[in-house]
Structure 1
């Protein structure tokens, strides 16, 4: 937490800074290795290690293999339920989204401040969540037009609606469709950012209350610490829920592209 003269700065944790004190520039573009890049690399490493432990294919699976198979089975069932057999080919993409968001969210919750470091929640930046949402939206468009051609536009006219009513509803449906990537990326960004701001503010109350000369200082510090524990547990749950919601909405959007209705 960045603080000066007792002031709480909950936004400092979201600042992207180059590591190793270097600001590398190539052809006018900054390519410095930042704290955001570091935590994304750690996220990919954690996912790789997790999956590596579950790829043994033992006849009698251990707990690690069962955990990996549980995740893969969960996403496979999600795709089968929302899309059907045709959705199996998109399972790797949705599984990758789910695992990246889940691990990134959870790594951003690690208490590494105890050893002098600071976690960085990469999903608290709209640039990250926006890219994931736009990539998903692009896949939906490509699949929709590749499978249905211009008939894909029938998605914007509800079944059974004709005439002037169809002409009035189609633009509304189109706008709603075009807003999908914004809502998809914004939802994850807002949820993670708000949670980390709240935890940072409560951490500031704990520290400032403990250092206060006031009689109520320790009371405020204790109550803030107790509330912080509850909020932290809630944020761990939110981390998993947001990964699930992103994967669920992705499967629903792909269903619209594959099975027009």
Structure 2
């Protein structure tokens, strides 16, 4: 067994092993991605514990409690609005997974906006693992609720029977691409925006170090662009968490209610 510490600086888009563990041919590494995943989870648990009754919750909420209550109400309304045809109690049985997914994505995305941090959701394997695991769970829920009748989603309502052999493969491909589109959308938006901010920041800093008036004016203009892009990225970070969550609700509603 070989333990090797790695003292590389954090980089925005590169998975760097902090601790490299080799057991024979098996490589187990604790990377910066693993570290920031644990950091996000710890922060979410700490924030929620601060607003619980035993953790210091108050009848008149403070800022942290108001934030968690706002996120809770937002997620609950999302479930009630997007999942129809069921009783409130049945709907709310799916609320915990929706709430946790939204919180996880929101704080992962926002954490990536902190300088010298790491954007977990800018990695394809993370977003795809999350989207496929949720989608497999939704499919299992559909089969548990409807049995083999769940396969009727492959035949859209109102089409002629003769068209079914052509529609079934198309609907199956469309259904299979849902988790792929979920993961790619989240990964691509976070990766592209953060890459653009990083490139523009490096370009502005290089011009600022030129010590010439023309380059200084250009650097100030570029820094203004970076500031605007940072605000845009902050909006994208919140929006992508919302889009991912609402699509999960829509897919869950399709699995529960079929056509």
- Normalised by the length of structure 2, the TM-score is 0.89
* SS of residue in 1 equivalent to 2:12: helix
* SS of residue in 2 equivalent to 1:246: helix
Match of 1:115 in 2: none
Match of 1:71 in 2: 71
Q: Quick check: 1:40–1:122 contact (8 Å CA) kept in 2?
A: yes
Structure 1 CA distance, aligned partners of 2:23 and 2:13? 25
Say whether 1:110 aligns with 2:114: yes
Displacement of 1:61: 2.9
Picking from 47, 51, 67, the partner of 1:50 is 47
Is the alpha carbon distance of 1:62 and 1:23 closer, same or farther for their aligned partners in structure 2, counting shifts above 3 Å? closer
* SS of residue in 2 equivalent to 1:170: helix
Match of 1:34 in 2: 31
Structure 2 CA distance, aligned partners of 1:130 and 1:47? 22
Match of 1:5 in 2: none
Is the alpha carbon distance of 1:68 and 1:217 closer, same or farther for their aligned partners in structure 2, counting shifts above 3 Å? same
* SS of residue in 1 equivalent to 2:20: coil
Say whether 1:13 aligns with 2:17: no
Displacement of 1:165: 2.2
Q: Decide which moves more: 153-162 or 98-107.
A: 153-162
Is the alpha carbon distance of 1:27 and 1:91 closer, same or farther for their aligned partners in structure 2, counting shifts above 3 Å? farther
* Superposed CA offset, 1:70-124 (max 9, x none): 111111111111113333111111111111111011111112xxxxxx2110000
Q: Quick check: 1:94–1:251 contact (8 Å CA) kept in 2?
A: yes
Structure 1 CA distance, aligned partners of 2:160 and 2:79? 32
Q: What is the alpha-carbon root mean square deviation over aligned residues?
A: 1.5
Q: Quick check: 1:54–1:67 contact (8 Å CA) kept in 2?
A: no
Match of 2:190 in 1: 192
Q: Which runs of 5+ in 2 are unaligned?
A: 1-10
* Superposed CA offset, 1:166-194 (max 9, x none): 33222211111000010000000000000
Displacement of 1:18: 1.4
Q: Greater relative contact order (Cα 8 A, min sep 6): structure 1 or 2?
A: 1
- Normalised by the length of structure 1, the TM-score is 0.88
